[in-house]
Structure 1
Amino acid sequence: MSTSIERLLVLYTGGTIGMQAGPDGLVPASGFEARMRAQQAQEPGPLPAWTFRELSPPLDSANMTQAHWLQMAETVRQAVDTDGCDAVLLLHGTDTLAYSAAALAFLLLGLPAPLLLTGAMLPAGAPGSDAWDNLFGAMRRLQAGVPPGVHLYFNGRLLHGARVSKLRSDAFDAFDSLPRPRNAEHAGTLPAPLDYRQPRQPVPLAVLPLHPGVRAETVAALVDSGVRGLLIECYGSGTGPSDDQALLAALRRARAAGVVLAAISQCPYGHVEFGVYAAGSQLRAAGLVSGGGMTREAALAKLFALLGAGLAADQVEHWFTRDLCGEMADA
């Protein structure tokens, strides 16, 4: 169900959209609200009434952290639950935009209002920039009606916040949702700790792409570093070096130590289905749980949200394999 937009919060976090030239290249800049209002005077048609908040200091999104995700989620919660906003438009740099969209999708499960993220490949005011088209296009899309939840608006398209990836670094159509198989079981009623109003904590996580020559010592070092979740990017449908007994033993020790071992496919259109190959069955036996057709961004964000909610490892594994907001299954 879509909601009418009478009060909109624009949350500016930095990124290319508001950058200005510095001595070493483009840098995040404050003062974007005045530039927005000046540009709006030149935009056709009515737009929603909006207020403005700025992350201080504004970021190059390459510097995005879990703490920023939590800060953004809290700002959105306050805007909707306390300030009475009907929607939030979040302006963000493109490098980690897909990661933040996924993180917010899981941090804000049950949010009764739409959250749209957008940004730009070229700064506002640069010749041929996509900045104002994306920003005011997102406003118009909200005004036309967007269902509650987290979405990304870019280059004229509305995309699912927990399915999107950045696929290009030099084109306006930089983002897309690849048709990875998504056929997981729907979660149904979620436990109370996953409600959007519940607080979360930062969580030490790591990503390990499998590759020829990957070593057991790498897994051991990650576990020793204190990670609580390890996202393993497997080959194909969920395979790995199943004849490497040292690696399998390191994975078993990690799981025994309470580390959640999650698996996704390295293939852009792939998904994990452990039982297809014996090599995949060996990984499952070592303690890996399937992320189905989730992207790296979604799987990492989901681990963060589940572990950060204080769930035990077995509960994290349970909910990780089920669809929470459309990341693993079609509606």
Structure 2
Amino acid sequence: MPGATTPDSPPSPAPSNVPELGLVPDAVTLGAPESRVLVIATGGTICMKRGLNGYVPERNFMNLLSPRPSFNDHSNQPPMPCYADAVNAEALTYLPSLRTPLSTYNRHVRFSVLEFDPLLDSSSINAKGWGEIARSIERNYQLFDAFVVLHGTDSLAYTASALGFMIGSLGKAIIFTGSQAPMTELQSDATDNLLGSLIIAGHFMIPEVCLYFGFKLFRGNRVTKSNSVAFNAFSSPNHPPLATVGINITINWNLITRPSTLTPFHISKYPPGTAHVACLRIFPGILPEMIEGVLKLEGLRGLVLETFGSGNAPEDGRLLEVLRQGVEDGIVIVNVTQCMTGSVCPLYAAGTALARTGVVFGMDMTTEAALTKLSCLLADPNLSVQEIRSMMSRSLRGEITEQTLMSFAHPPQLQKISQQQALGPKQAALSVLAYAIKKGDEIGVREALKQAKAEGEGWLLNEFDYAGFTPLHIAATSPSLAILREFLSQGASVHLRNHDGHTPLYLAADAGKLDNVKLLRESGAHLHTEEIELATILRGRLEAGSGKAICWEMAGA
């Protein structure tokens, strides 16, 4: 639920300021060991300095951060392992690391910087650059808790959108940021943007591709650059921020999307191309021949059409015929509005006329999201044109606002527990889940999750109790595989760590639950870097081939 996240952590025993049945915030990894974040510096203004002819790229970004107390507690942290070689993907290198001072959540964020060579110009980036960023994340996915990507602002909204569609089953935060002025300038937003990104990435398990700018965290495929000079350069006109940063950090947990397929993290096998997709803005007096010229470009397979208002275009019979012919030729044409706020919908005859030609309504997608989504879908040879048209009007990564029915009733068991124990809705829901898990009550678990989802209570999936356990930690050692599968299919995070710093996978292996370990691994779980050494020691003490030894081996020890 929306609300300011408090700095209370769940040490054991619980401190006096945490009620016995109190809950700590959803998906904040409090009390666990320090977080590890990889900062991927691709280029942009944030990585520049003032030169004789203006701003120029400056390498060794880590040297800018080292003297700054906000980024360095001077604890002389050792280097962190990283796969930094794009040519030799198996070559493990060690990058210098810094650690932030202790946050109000009693955590440090330790980070290293992986610099692209050469640094990319954001105004010249294309699908190849998107692929390089995605592969850097893929190679290091199991080594870090989250990722922050430094990027130029000109095309930042396009890259953030593209990465969201290229990546599947994401379980960790990927946060894009940049700045309007370099880190080296006295008047700059660079420090606030990078530090805010690091704090959110290092403390909260938000499994989305996001963009952080001006003290706000946005869904990456919802943003557009709306100001070229102000520090609040980006807007998300049709979707609220996922988080806002002030004295407190407010996370809108009910807006966070989570993976619901039991598959591990992956990037698309079919990298998107931008050459076969075009964008055309409708204007008063546009000639049908102009649109026809675009549609006849060699190799064109998709067109994003920016129209007036709610999706309107000139009611010109010749223009409509040109669009109809383009659709019949197999070109996917998507209609998005030129307006900052609003949606394409069939309110006017001028808009429904476009729909009758076969043009797809893009609803409230931004131009950036529509273009990158269309590019990614067209790259997949397994999708037909009709399937792509259908998918363009459906939300795949939260890029389209979908209407949902509202429920006003709590399940009877929640009402009963709340009345008997005077618990709030969070406490009652967690009590119902814990009781159902321990009993192996599959129906009870499904009903509680279903009701919470209907009410938009995303907190139920990844809620911590005062001991630092989520329901998935409990389900990981449950005798009911169906319950564990239910949590995973509903989007419970496999990467959250309990008070002792352990993931659900570690607990399942330690309990000798082979089937649970298999299912968690299939869903993208892996041992945290700090768990592997201990897990390997425990495995070495067991008889080779024993059930528990096999569990540890399958877990990755």
- TM-score of the two chains, using structure 1 as the length reference: 0.89
Decide which structure has the larger Cα Rg and report it. Answer: 2
Other-structure match for 2:305: 232
Q: 1:126 maps to which residue?
A: 185
Query: Could you tell me which residue of structure 1 aligns to residue 327 of structure 2?
Result: 255
Q: Distance in 2 between matches of 1:72 and 1:49?
A: 21
Residues 110 and 149 in structure 1, CA contact (< 8 A), matched pair in contact too: no
Counterpart residue type for residue 318 of structure 2: A
Alignment of 1:96-245 (within 5 A): 96-179=155-238, 196-203=267-274, 204-225=276-297, 226-242=299-315, 244-245=316-317
CA contact (8 A) 2:40 2:148 kept: yes
Who is 1:283 aligned against?
Answer: 354
Residue 548 of structure 2 corresponds to which residue in structure 1?
Answer: none
Distance 1:197 1:50, change over 3 A: farther
Report the residue type matching 1:287 in the other structure: G
After TM superposition, give the deviation of residue 148 of structure 1 in Å: 0.5
Map Cα deviations across residues 159-189 of structure 1 (whole Å, 9 max, x no partner): 11111111111111111211369xxxx9x98
Question: Unpaired segments of 5 or more residues in structure 2?
Answer: 1-25, 74-99, 241-256, 403-455, 457-557
Q: Distance in 2 between matches of 1:124 and 1:55?
A: 17
Map of 2:515 onto structure 1: none
The aligned residue for residue 2 of structure 1 is: 27
Name which of 64, 72, 86 aligns with 1:41: 72
Q: Is the 8 A contact 1:207 1:231 kept in 2?
A: yes
Report how far residue 136 of structure 1 moved: 1.6
Contact 2:48–2:57 (8 Å) recurs in 1: yes
User: CA-to-partner distance for each residue in 1:18-61, whole Å, 9 max, x for gaps?
Assistant: 11223432122222122233332376436422232222211231
Q: How many residues align?
A: 320
Amino acid at match of 1:73: A
Secondary structure of the residue aligned to 1:241 is coil
CA distance in 2, matches of 1:19, 1:99: 21
Corresponding residue SS for 2:163: helix
Q: Distance in 2 between matches of 1:249 and 1:85?
A: 53
Alignment of 1:15-30 (within 5 A): 15-30=44-59
Question: For structure 1, which segment, 254-263 or 198-207, has the greater mean C-alpha deviation from structure 2 after superposition?
Answer: 198-207
Is this contact kept in 2: 1:109–1:149, CA < 8 A?
no
| Distance in structure 2 (CA, Å) of the matches to 1:68 and 1:163 | 20
Higher mean displacement: 18-27 or 39-48: 39-48
Q: Report what 1:324 is aligned to.
A: 396
1:233 deviates by: 0.7
Structure-2 residue corresponding to 1:72 = 133
The 2-side partners of 1:8 and 1:261 are apart by: 40
In the aligned structure 2, how far is the partner of 1:197 from the partner of 1:212? 39
Q: Is 1:31 aligned with 2:60? A: yes
Q: Which amino acid aligns with 1:281?
A: T
Mapped to 1, the partners of 2:260 and 2:140 lie a distance apart of 25
The amino acid across from 2:365 in the alignment is M
Task: Please report how far the alpha carbon of residue 197 of structure 1 lies from its aligned counterpart in structure 2 after TM superposition.
Answer: 4.6
Q: Partners of 2:27 and 2:320 in 1: how far apart?
A: 48
Q: Within 2, Cα distance between the matches of 1:3 and 1:101?
A: 23
Q: State the Cα deviation string for residues 169-218 of structure 1 (Å, max 9, x = none).
A: 1111111211369xxxx9x988x9x9635332414211111111212222
Amino acid at match of 2:72: A
One-letter code aligned to 2:345: E
> SS at the partner of 2:267?
coil
Asked if 1 retains the 8 angstrom alpha-carbon contact of 2:162 and 2:369, the reply is yes
Q: RMSD of the TM alignment (CA)?
A: 2.4
CA contact (8 A) 1:3 1:113 kept: no
In structure 1, C-alpha distance between the alignment counterparts of 2:57 and 2:321, rounded to whole Å: 46
Whole-Å Cα distance in 1 between the matches of residues 35 and 221 of structure 2?
26
Identity of aligned residues (%): 35
* Structure 2 residue identity aligned to 1:137: G
The 10-residue stretch of structure 1 (96-105 or 198-207) with the greater mean CA deviation from structure 2: 198-207
User: How far 1:86 moved relative to its partner?
Assistant: 1.6
